[in-house]
Amino acid sequence: MRTTYRKQLDDVLEDLVSLSDIVAVAVRKSTRALLEANIKLAEEVIAGDETVDAAKTELEQQLFSLLARQAPVASELRLVVASLRMVSELERMGDLAAHVAKVARLRYPEPAVPAALLPNFTRMGEVAESMVVRAGQTLSQSNVDAAEELRRQDEEMDDLRRSQFKVMLGPEWPHGVESAVDVALLGRYYERISDHAASLASRVVYIVTGEFPEDDDWPQPVGGSS
């Protein structure tokens, strides 16, 4: 019975890592859809969000079953409780990737991002995808040092976001209010993907050490809002 229980916990971790891989692909495709005005990729990401939602529901059911049937304690309880939050954060990252794809679809066949901000959003997409991938690796390896790297990437994302506002609020912005709203929303979506990834990493630290990082520079664990 104990061997089966341990395998169930291991299976949950493997499923979380697999879900992070799916989300990373969604982030990559949504960025391409945005930058290339690629309607096919946008539709793929939007349709694929249902897969992420279904995986979240299935994982939650497994975790609630473990809580009810096994009454985990100590480190195992930390793993189950943290996993419940991590699966929600992965689901939200998938939603945010779909939001990016929806903006790309809304503006098709025109690009949603002005040419002046293409380098900025290209880098945002790279950082967001890298953070989701690294979050999965942090989880699979229980690697606290890798979690620290995610914090540094989150700081880069914040810098990219600030640079967007400098361009939008500058005197030479020629693209009007509608484009400014698109850019503000898109930047927020990428920033939140990054926040969720960093928060997921902080939960890995919690699983390994029993404590959340206390450094004020760490993003606080994300709750239910996106």
Q: What CATH number does residue 121 fall under?
A: 1.20.58.220
Give the pLDDT confidence score for residue 213 in this predicted structure: 66
Q: Is residue 216 part of a domain?
A: no
Percent of the chain with pLDDT over 90: 56
Within-domain flag for 219: no
Asked, for residue 45, whether it belongs to a domain, the answer is: yes
Give the lowest-confidence range in 6-10, 17-21, 71-75, 160-164: 71-75
Burial profile 108-127: b = 16 or more Cβ within 10 angstroms, e = fewer: eeebbbbeebeebbebbbeb
**What is the phi-psi region of residue 185: left when phi exceeds 0, alpha when psi lies from -120 to 50, beta otherwise?**
alpha
* Full-model pTM: 0.89
Structural domain boundaries, residue 200? 2-209
Determine the pLDDT at residue 215. 55
Residue 66 has φ and ψ, to the nearest 5°, of -65, -40
pLDDT tens-digit series, residues 6-24:
788 888 889 999 999 999 9
Residue 221 lies in a domain: no
Least confident of 95-99, 134-138, 214-218: 214-218
Inter-residue contact 19 to 87 (CB < 8 Å) = yes
Average pLDDT, the chain: 88
CA geometry: angle 44, 223, 85, nearest 5 deg? 70
Q: How many domains are there within the chain?
A: 1
- Distance between CA atoms of residues 139 and 202, nearest Å: 10
Whole-angstrom Cα distance, residue 153 to residue 62? 32
Q: What is the pLDDT of residues 103-156, one digit of tens each?
A: 999 999 999 999 999 999 999 999 999 999 988 888 888 877 777 788 888 899
